[in-house]
Structure 1
Amino acid sequence: MRPSLRRALTFWRRSIQARVVVSTLVLSTVVITAVGWYLLRQTRDGLLENRVDSVLAESATEVRDAEVALAGAGTESDESKQLRELAEPLITRGETRGYGVVLAGPVDDRRRAADGVASFTPGLDLDRSIPASLEARLATVGAPLAWTYTHVEADDSADIPSGPGIVVGAQIQLPADGRTYAVYFLYPLDEQEETLGLVTQGLLTAAVVLLLLVAGLAWLVTRQVVTPVRLARRVAERLAAGRLQERLRVTGEDDLARLATSFNQMASNLQRQIRQLEELSRVQRRFVSDVSHELRTPLTTVRMAGDVLHDARGRFDPGTARAAELLQTELDRFETLLADLLEISRFDAGAAVLDVEELDLGDIVRRVVESTRPLAEQRGVRVAVVDADRPCLAEGDPRRVERVVRNLLTNAIDHAEVGGRDPGVVVLLGSDENAAAVAVRDYGVGLEPGESAMVFNRFWRSDPARARTSGGTGLGLSIALEDTHLHGGWLQAWGRPRRGAQFRLTLPRHAGGSLRRSPLPLEPADAESRHADEVLR
């Protein structure tokens, strides 16, 4: 598509004023065309009706005068002389008044006027000027006066112009031989045609002027409405960019002024709410950070005491020894929770940074699988890795990527179906020219509709009554999502009830690159087949 056409289409899509003006012009053009066509038709019909009435009256008068003249001549005159005395006055008056005359016949000969012509106005083309239908109507003796529209054909020597016309036919009986002849009067419509042309030109001029006026009025009216909307859009864009002090200028008391007032009130309320939320968020981040740091010192002391008790548990009675073991387990979880809270506070404060280097996702996955093997054996879950056809290389922070993969894998082991499908967890690797991906698939309880977006919320659990086998803190997936966003990647979840779940991590091959697609599908290929097996069972 050419740039000029692309710019025109963009302007058309974005400009309400242009669409309103063009729509108004189109509708106005349709209305003006319909009205103009109706007026022209009425004008044409009126001109033709007046002309028809005039020529019929004039033709009837000519025929009546000719019959009176012939009746005075009697039957003693010669036939050719009577025809000449009949035709010459008619032709002469026709040349004077601007119409043509054709005297033909006798009508009982059944011949065309051009074949049986007695006399006619010089320069006329009789074959084209006199319609055969009219000749047929006058072929019977005693036929009344008749007329029809025609196209008068005449050469340059004729006194009448070529063009549309009216032909009137009548019968006259010649006393000399007692036979009936046909006389045709050809009246051109050049004056009516010229009048209609002037009317058409006037209507076209008026239509163009009216359309220009309508376009100008539509532009002015829409400008009064669109201009405040555009100002509101600019202010809204500034508000969205963080300039919360921007406001609309209010002038007048009309609907647009009231809209501007409401917009300013909304902006003020939003500014106040955003500032309150920012203050609350700042206080929350400060609280989490301070509490996390303040807890380190007492936690270190409790950890030392717990280690002493745990090491000496062999000398305690069974109840005290069990309490020392539980204390050690909870201290481990407390330390993990404290570390996660500190990491979350760094994300909230925007202090998290990447230590980017070239990494292989396959090596990271195998290292994480090996480190989580005791947890998987404790749960009775086997973990399988499906390698890609090519190395899964990407640029990223190895520590953060490994933490994401570990969170996904421990979460899958924790929710895998014990004693079910073997392997219980499948890790897939994939890559292409622009991205590398890891997908972790389990066949456990799965996710309910809508939970795939909530699963990354802090402290969210699909089943609050379910025990955490891995001793998680509820912040693992949230931290994994933040780590993924730092890399400019995607972390997505898919799940169905009783059909398991799959989490997919997608990273760009190069730091700072953008993702368009993932090398691995989000919905696993065996989802439908597993569902079919369950239905059959």
Structure 2
Amino acid sequence: MVGTSGHFWAGLTPGLRRALTFWRRSIQARVVVSTVVLSAVIVSGVGWILLQQTREGLLDHRVDVVLGEVDAEIGDARARLDAASGTEVNASRQQRDLVDPIIDRGESRGYSVVLAGPEGEDVPLREGGGEYTSGLDLRSVPEAIEAHFDGVNRTTAWSYTEIVRTAEDGQARTDPGIIVGSQVQLPSDGNTYTLYFLFPLTAEEETLGLVTRALLTAAGLLVALVAGLTWLVTRQVVTPIRMARRVAERLAAGRLQERLEVVGEDDIARLAYSFNQMASNLQRQIRQLEELSWVQRRFVSDVSHELRTPLTTVRMASDVLHDARTNFDPTTARSAELLQAELDRFENLLVDLLEISRFDAGAAMLDTEDVNLVDVVDRVVDAARPLADQRGVRVVVEQPVEPVRAEVDVRRVERIVRNLVVNAIDHAMADDPTEAVVVRLASDEGAAAITVRDHGVGLAPGESAMVFNRFWRSDPARARTSGGTGLGLAIAQEDAHLHGGWLQAWGRTGQGAQFRLTIPRHAGAALRHSPLPLTPEDALSSDAAVVTGPADAVRTEEGTRS
């Protein structure tokens, strides 16, 4: 999924990537755009409803007017026919006298007239039967309404239609309209004829267009007003938040004196006041911790240096007693041996404290040379073999085919590997002969890596964050068979940092642990990956994926030591 989104992002144009980045990072833009879109949808819906109601109102009013006008024309036509029935005997002359005045009035009032009939004769209207307004295309009369008047004594009917006219230049023009049909009977021949009145809706179309333009203009202005108000409101809220973000970034960068400006007494001002109070408390606590840390480092440095002289004196006396123990009684001789052993442990602790003091003071330096790390690992494993035999643990080194060369400080890398191997032996399961401490090496063009895998007690969830802390032990009750001081991994991590490398760990309760040292092959080079995986191949499939990173920022779901 991550790879797919990465390919999608890479395929976008720079402008689109900048727009998407701005969209993700700007809450003001998202609020304004969302509000404008929602407002546009609501205004569009309301405008559509208003237009539909306006259209229906205009058409209903036009239909009422048209029907009233048609009733008046039909009434006038029947009155003229009744008045002329006694004198007029020519049917065609009576048809012309009937329809010509109506056509003349229609041309002056803007509507067209068609006289069709007589009913009962199979003469299709579209084939030219009847009288009609000049320039009118008889296709304007819908077949449905024509079928309605296929007999006599039909009621008045109306319908919407498309009025087709032929202009003087020969071009046909189509306009929406209303057609109304009504029947009349000529006294001269007794036949029934149908009068069709076609009224255009151009005025209503113009009115509806005017209303539509007015609504669009009002909608545009309303949406612009909503956008402006939303931008102004969000700006008043977002601007203090942006200022708080900038101040927080400067605080995170170490500028602890930065504060927000408090203006007014509203919620934003109270937030700024609370933020400043929090920043002041954090500054005070950080200074206290820095002072405490400085005091602790100074104390460790002073104690470790001050103990050198009395330790040397006690060591000289202990050496004399230890050399002469054969002349003592058994109890005194055993005491001399215990004294010598505890002095060795105390001296190792003092050496570790002095090394920690050098790291704290920034006085630790690298003395690099190009070496084969396989030789370093072999020396460490050979030196730890007696301890492994004493614990009943096998130590296996998987030799790579090619030499693993790197520019390192041999003394420091040897100390790191020794700490890892001794810890693995100390925590391994001695009663399981099938399991062994496995040391692997690998390298590529940019990095070299060493992993140490044990199948011991492992690490419980939550312990991974503390494994490199000074004086921390995963099991305080464990017998100190290796004489550990609790500073080994802390010193190893500092040694890895000096090389620009990573010291990482994986662990599961009951599945053991694996430590990985990764260092650049060339001194001062940037480290971007490791040739060996942190999670061992024999780990359970349910293990979480490990995100590699700097030695002090390794992250997994649980069980990672960093």
- Tell me which interval the TM-score lies in, with the shorter structure as reference length: over 0.9
Corresponding residue number in structure 2 for 1:7: 18
Distance 1:396 1:78 in 2: 128
Distance 2:245 2:118 in 1: 88
Check the 8 A contact 2:435/2:455 in 1, yes or no: no
Aligned ranges 1:22-33 → 2 under 5 Å? 22-33=33-44
Task: Determine helix, strand or coil for the equivalent of 2:366.
Answer: coil
Check the 8 A contact 2:429/2:435 in 1, yes or no: no
Distance 1:87 1:390 in 2: 113
Check the 8 A contact 2:123/2:129 in 1, yes or no: no
The answer as to 2:363 corresponding to 1:348 is no
Report the AA paired with residue 416 of structure 1.
Answer: A
Distance 1:471 1:288 in 2: 20
Check the 8 A contact 1:382/1:424 in 2, yes or no: yes
Residue of 183, 204, 207 corresponding to 1:192: 204
Corresponding residue number in structure 1 for 2:176: 164
TM-score by length of 2: 0.90
Residue of 69, 88, 113 corresponding to 2:80: 69
Aligned ranges 1:339-378 → 2 under 5 Å? 339-378=351-390
Residue of 116, 121, 135 corresponding to 1:123: 135
Residue of 141, 145, 159 corresponding to 1:134: 145
Corresponding residue number in structure 2 for 1:215: 227
Distance 1:104 1:392 in 2: 108
Corresponding residue number in structure 1 for 2:559: none
Distance 1:138 1:529 in 2: 86
Corresponding residue number in structure 1 for 2:560: none
Corresponding residue number in structure 2 for 1:471: 483
Distance 1:142 1:126 in 2: 23
Distance 1:63 1:529 in 2: 94
Corresponding residue number in structure 2 for 1:256: 268
Could you tell which deviates more after superposition, 265-274 or 448-457?
A: 448-457
Residue of 267, 285, 294 corresponding to 2:279: 267
Distance 1:97 1:184 in 2: 15
Aligned ranges 1:47-446 → 2 under 5 Å? 47-74=58-85, 76-109=88-121, 111-115=123-127, 117-127=129-139, 129-157=140-168, 162-422=174-434, 424-446=436-458
Residue of 434, 448, 453 corresponding to 2:460: 448
Corresponding residue number in structure 2 for 1:535: none
Task: Determine helix, strand or coil for the equivalent of 2:477.
Answer: coil
Check the 8 A contact 1:447/1:495 in 2, yes or no: yes
Check the 8 A contact 2:40/2:223 in 1, yes or no: yes
CA gap 1:387/1:108 in 2 versus in 1, 3 angstroms: farther
CA gap 1:105/1:529 in 2 versus in 1, 3 angstroms: closer
C-alpha deviation, 1:517, in angstroms: 3.6
TM-score by length of 1: 0.94
Residue of 503, 506, 509 corresponding to 1:494: 506
Flag structure 2 segments of 5+ consecutive residues without an equivalent. 1-11, 544-562
Distance 1:159 1:172 in 2: 34
CA RMSD of aligned residues (A): 2.2
Check the 8 A contact 2:447/2:527 in 1, yes or no: yes
Check the 8 A contact 1:421/1:443 in 2, yes or no: no
C-alpha deviation, 1:110, in angstroms: 5.1
Deviations 1:371-413 (Å, cap 9, x if unpaired)?
Answer: 2112112222221111334433334332222211111000001
Task: Determine helix, strand or coil for the equivalent of 1:107.
Answer: coil
Task: Determine helix, strand or coil for the equivalent of 2:426.
Answer: helix
Check the 8 A contact 1:106/1:116 in 2, yes or no: no
Deviations 1:33-56 (Å, cap 9, x if unpaired)?
Answer: 111111111111111111111111
Distance 2:505 2:151 in 1: 98
Deviations 1:334-371 (Å, cap 9, x if unpaired)?
Answer: 11111111222222333333334434332221221122
